[in-house]
Amino acid sequence: MSIRDQRKLIESIHPFGLLSKESMDALMQKIDIAYYPSKTLLISPSISSIAFYIIIKGSVTEYIEDEVHDVYGAGDSFDADALIYGDTKAKFVVDEDLICYEIKKEDFLDLMQDKKVQSYFLQDFISRHQQLKEYEQQSELSPFLIARVSDIFLHPACVVDAHISILEALQRLQELRAKVIIVKEEDAYSIVTDTNLRERVLMGENDISKPIASIASKNLVTIDKEDFLFNALLLMTHNGIKRVVVLEHEKIIGVLEQIDLLSYFASHSHLVAVQIDKAQTLEDLKALEQDFRNLIVTLRAKGVKVRYITKLIATLNFKIYKKVFEMCVSEELQDKCALIVMGSEGREDQTLRSDQDNALIIKNGVDKELFSEPMMRLNSYLLELGFPKCNGNVMVSNEFWRRDVTSYKELIEKWTYDMNEESVQNLSIFLDAKCVAGDCELLHELTEYLHGKFHARDDVLAHIAKAVLNFETPLTLFSGFVLEKEYNNKLDLKKGGIFALVHGVRTLSLQYEIKATNTTERIKELNNLGVIDKTFATELIESFDTLSSVRLKAMLEAKTIEEANFINPRTLEKNQRDLLKDSFKIINKFKKFMTFHFHLNMVV
Amino acid sequence: MFGFFSKLKTNANRKRLKDEKFAFLFDADTSGEVVVFDTETTGLDVSKDEILSIGAVKIKDNKILTSQTFEVFLQNSKEISSASIKIHGIRPVDLKNAKTTKEGIEEFLHFVGARPLVGYYLEFDVGMINRYTKEMLGITLPNQMIEVSEIYFDKTISLIPQGNIDLRFDTILKNCGVPNMGVHNAVNDAIMTAMIYLKLTQGKK
């Protein structure tokens, strides 16, 4: 009946859904509906808050120092802080005639006795953000990527001394029913797999009475027990191996087998990786296109954090680049150059395929012309594989992006001096460069050189950083959305938020000579260096994740690349809208930080 | 507000009151509140049909006191026709714990007191209640009546003097920007009517 309808409405609003039946019953006895015509001032520093409001219809704008800070619409509630702390800096004004539920101050504070409600309202941004995300995932599908290595079945580790014989080691293996032998040598561990046994004992000359260490492989890949399972998958995919050794406090506690991991994930990222490795022709690679897309859809549906998806996609894309590189460049030339990807690919931020941004660095003294034909071919292959053309023509097919080391250095020199729009843009792209094939030392040398050029050049850095302020954060668009005044209101995620964050973090990384190209890793590094504090770093990472996640959703639904950056907030669920709004607030905070850090208000 | 004639009527009504316990209905109202109410009935004939449920809320200033919502289900003498069930959604099983009409109406009268009554097509709902009160107490409801569709009409006619004004509930609801709270039942309808009332009386003049 009716009271139940209202109850349902209230329960659908987080965190009231967490209340016990009794508390909910009690709450329902205390809620009134109030009506306020537009322009009513509800709360301000001089009018203390008397109630907690939950909007049924209408909208309210929150101003801090006369700047729009937030807009609340149907289903939103405000303002817990004003009630809890008894005062506020903000001003809440009714924007569109408001019908709302009102919980009186005393009753609201009573409600705060409930631990769950209390923790929700007393949390800072990060935990509230995470709780909302978790809540969202719960309501969709299980959050499976929170799973850690320790959550999965581990095979016992068969650790043996280096000097025992192959036979003894095998017996020990049998006893433990383990799959691989880990050999403890003086200062390190090595590993003996079935492949080693086959190649070095059955097919090789080795006698089973020889010490086990003689047939072991050196590179033991390990992972900490507390690490995410997904990272284990990345490790396997990246190294092309079938198992990783699990450590706890630097001690071996077991072995994680790929088969177990895969059944846990029940998707086939590794299969895609293997198929890329096996591919002989362009057609083989093309055939993988659909698998690729499915993989993303599956992982996303399973609630995998977008930053892990993008990382996996990047890893797989790098494999494709490498493969295509090997197909196009003859073997003797392969180590005389470095193929680099830049922009979003270099940052490992791209979700579905984004524009090709690639270049070739040639070793000094090698004839540039030798690479002309192979690079044209490489470009056409990539196009055929569905890597879209770069509008700015930042591609190896363009002679401009095929140079030797000296010539790149001259280019960098030029960029740092003339500072026109094009130079800043090229520099920005190059800052995200990551080597995917060939001799990666070449890129390393250039990065060092580039960082050196920016020592104590804060003026130039400020000039680059300025672009962060180029676009307004579209918080006000939400008001357009809430007020339903606009037609076809769409948000540009890239301009609105992602660009400012990525570019700002990139500029800071240049200043502090951070080598990482991935935005999340750069933020972590900046935190390690003390440039930004831990809380802010986490806020930025979470915001970036949210923006990317919403963007990925848009990309999967979009028909064209241009469309992919736009979303209609109307189509988002309330939780997602809240997350997005929160993220934009953090972007604004970041812009303020950048303005202060580089004194941007003094740069013309 | 009360003219001479209506005063006469009230006095005559007062004289017919059989039970002095309900004399409060005739007191001057000092609460500053109004009561919005709605009924669900077995049909639209005031002389034959019966009340199934009554829903009511109080309004004080700009607030609908949903914390004091009134809702009651009443026992019926006849079987409820299946045609009417489709409209009000009250099935015989929903009336299992219903009160006798005497109990229900008395509770309602205590809830209302001397407060003015607000409703949509109030004439019908009051007419239904009056049939019971006449029988039980010898009187009709003496409260002041406020019809929302009338206020709506007055407000709208000034904008379109010659126009035909659509006074259907859903139309008024929509034009007043009041959210539809879902299923129609006595309490929901009372709350929605209350919102319309607030919007019409509290909005920008």
**pLDDT mean over A247-272:** 74
Contact B28, B50 (CB under 8 A): no
| C-alpha to C-alpha distance for A591 and A472, rounded to whole angstroms | 10
Residues in contact with A417: Cβ distance below 8 Å, sequence separation at least 6, in sequence order: none
Closest-CA residue of A relative to B89 is: A1
pLDDT at B116 over 90: yes
DSSP helix/strand/coil, A92: strand
Asked whether the CA dihedral A164, A170, A175, A179 is positive or negative, the reply is positive
Structure tokens at A289: 């296109």
pLDDT at B106 over 90: yes
Q: Which amino acid is at A104?
A: K
Residues of chain B in contact with residue A57, where contact means CB-CB under 8 angstroms, are 177-179
* Structure confidence at residue A550 as a pLDDT band (50, 70, 90): confident
Name which of A144, A116, A107, A84 is nearest A18 in CA terms. A116
What confidence score (pLDDT) does residue A480 get? 45
| C-alpha to C-alpha distance for A169 and A567, rounded to whole angstroms | 60
Q: Is A97 on the interface with B (CB under 8 A)?
A: yes
DSSP helix/strand/coil, A279: coil
| C-alpha to C-alpha distance for A29 and B5, rounded to whole angstroms | 42
* Structure confidence at residue B70 as a pLDDT band (50, 70, 90): very high
- For the domain made up of A269-453, the CATH class stated in words is alpha beta
Name which of B87, B85, B79, B137 is nearest B108 in CA terms. B137
| C-alpha to C-alpha distance for A236 and A273, rounded to whole angstroms | 10
Residue A502: what are its φ and ψ, rounded to 5°? -60, -45
**pLDDT mean over A480-488:** 42
According to CATH, the topology of domain A2-122 is Jelly Rolls (2.60.120)
Burial B12-35 (b: 16+ CB within 10 A, else e): ebeeebeeeebeebeeeeeeebbb
Q: Which run of H or of E encompasses A461?
A: helix A458-465
Lowest mean pLDDT among A50-54, A418-422, A510-514: A418-422
CATH architecture of the domain covering B32-202 = 2-Layer Sandwich (3.30)
| C-alpha to C-alpha distance for A497 and A548, rounded to whole angstroms | 10
Between A575 and A400, whose confidence is greater? A400
**pLDDT mean over B30-48:** 90
* Structure confidence at residue B125 as a pLDDT band (50, 70, 90): very high
CA A212 to centroid of chain Cα atoms: 43
According to CATH, the topology of domain A465-602 is Four Helix Bundle (Hemerythrin (Met), subunit A) (1.20.120)
* Structure confidence at residue A304 as a pLDDT band (50, 70, 90): low
Residues in contact with B187: Cβ distance below 8 Å, sequence separation at least 6, in sequence order: A1, A2, A3, B38, B55, B56, B57, B69, B70, B71
Q: Is A274 on the interface with B (CB under 8 A)?
A: no
Residues in contact with A68: Cβ distance below 8 Å, sequence separation at least 6, in sequence order: A61, A62, A475, A476, A479
What confidence score (pLDDT) does residue B113 get? 94
Between A540 and A56, whose confidence is greater? A540
On average, the pLDDT of chain B sits at 87
Interface test with A, best of B64, B91, B97 (most A CBs within 10 A): B64
Residues in contact with A486: Cβ distance below 8 Å, sequence separation at least 6, in sequence order: A477, A480
CB contact (8 A) between residue A33 and residue B185: no
* Structure confidence at residue A140 as a pLDDT band (50, 70, 90): very low
pLDDT at A485 over 60: no
What confidence score (pLDDT) does residue A484 get? 37
Burial B93-102 (b: 16+ CB within 10 A, else e): ebbeebeebe
What confidence score (pLDDT) does residue B205 get? 45
> End-to-end distance of chain B based on CA atoms, in angstroms?
21
Contact A342, A430 (CB under 8 A): yes
Pairing of strands A358-362, A402-404: parallel
pLDDT at A303 over 80: no
CB atoms closer than 10 angstroms to residue A40 = 16
What confidence score (pLDDT) does residue A526 get? 94
Looking at chain B, the whole-number percentage of residues with pLDDT higher than 90 is 44
**pLDDT mean over A435-442:** 91
Q: Which amino acid is at A307?
A: R
Interface test with B, best of A3, A8, A33 (most B CBs within 10 A): A33
Residues in a beta bridge with A15? none
pLDDT at A474 over 80: no
Residue position matching structure tokens 């668009």: A477
pLDDT at B34 over 80: yes
Contact A10, A61 (CB under 8 A): no
**pLDDT mean over B147-155:** 90
Residues of chain A in contact with residue B71, where contact means CB-CB under 8 angstroms, are 1-3
Contact B119, B37 (CB under 8 A): yes
Q: Is B185 on the interface with A (CB under 8 A)?
A: yes
What confidence score (pLDDT) does residue A559 get? 61
Q: Which run of H or of E encompasses A140?
A: helix A125-140
Residue position matching structure tokens 């329902």: A28
CB contact (8 A) between residue A33 and residue B204: no
SS3 content of chain B, % helix, strand, coil (to 5): 45, 20, 35
CB contact (8 A) between residue A99 and residue B55: no
Pairing of strands B145-147, B117-119: parallel
CB contact (8 A) between residue A1 and residue B71: yes
Name which of A332, A320, A219 is nearest A275 in CA terms. A320
Q: Is A41 on the interface with B (CB under 8 A)?
A: no
A150-154, A173-177, A480-484, B131-135, range with greatest mean pLDDT: B131-135
pLDDT at A273 over 80: no
What confidence score (pLDDT) does residue A12 get? 74
A99-108, A279-288, A466-475, range with greatest mean pLDDT: A99-108
Contact A227, A149 (CB under 8 A): yes
Q: Is B97 on the interface with A (CB under 8 A)?
A: no
Nearest CB partner across the interface for B178, out of A2, A30, A99: A99
Q: Which amino acid is at A587?
A: I
Contact A228, A196 (CB under 8 A): no
Between A455 and A373, whose confidence is greater? A373
According to CATH, the superfamily of the domain at A149-265 is CBS-domain (3.10.580.10)
Lowest mean pLDDT among A124-138, A224-238, A347-361, A423-437: A124-138
Domains A269-453 and A465-602 share a fold: no
| C-alpha to C-alpha distance for A196 and A187, rounded to whole angstroms | 21
Count of H-run helices and E-run strands, chain B: 7, 5
A125-140 and A534-557 helices, crossing angle to 10°: 30
Residue position matching structure tokens 């004639």: B5
Lowest mean pLDDT among A35-49, A166-180, A486-500, B145-159: A486-500
ipTM beyond cut 0.95: no
DSSP secondary structure letter of residue A199: I
Contact B84, B58 (CB under 8 A): no
What confidence score (pLDDT) does residue A340 get? 92
| C-alpha to C-alpha distance for A323 and A326, rounded to whole angstroms | 5
Min Cα separation B92/chain A (Å): 15
**pLDDT mean over A247-256:** 87
Give, in degrees to the nearest 5, the angle at Cα B19 between B15 and B23: 65
User: Hey, where are the domains in chain A?
Assistant: 2-122, 149-265, 269-453, 465-602
Structure tokens at A367: 């004839």
Give, in degrees to the nearest 5, the angle at Cα A213 between A211 and A216: 130
Nearest CB partner across the interface for B71, out of A3, A35, A97: A3
pLDDT at A478 over 60: no
Residues in contact with A277: Cβ distance below 8 Å, sequence separation at least 6, in sequence order: A240, A319, A323
**pLDDT mean over A570-589:** 79
CB contact (8 A) between residue A57 and residue B178: yes
User: Hey, where are the domains in chain B?
Assistant: 32-202
Contact A242, A218 (CB under 8 A): no
pLDDT at A488 over 60: no
What confidence score (pLDDT) does residue A1 get? 37
**pLDDT mean over B160-178:** 82
pLDDT at A137 over 60: no
Q: Is B202 on the interface with A (CB under 8 A)?
A: yes
**pLDDT mean over A10-27:** 78
Looking at chain A, the whole-number percentage of residues with pLDDT higher than 70 is 84
**pLDDT mean over A541-549:** 87
pLDDT at A130 over 50: yes
Contact B46, B131 (CB under 8 A): yes
Name which of B98, B79, B116 is nearest B186 in CA terms. B98
pLDDT at A527 over 70: yes
On average, the pLDDT of chain A sits at 80
Contact A324, A567 (CB under 8 A): no
Structure tokens at A503: 């570019």
Residues of chain B in contact with residue A97, where contact means CB-CB under 8 angstroms, are 177, 199, 203
Model pLDDT for residues A343-388, shown as the tens digit of each residue: 888 888 776 666 788 999 999 988 888 888 999 999 998 888 888 8
Lowest mean pLDDT among A151-155, A544-548, B14-18, B190-194: A151-155
CB contact (8 A) between residue B188 and residue A5: yes
Looking at chain A, the whole-number percentage of residues with pLDDT higher than 90 is 12
A121-125, A309-313, A572-576, B70-74, range with greatest mean pLDDT: B70-74
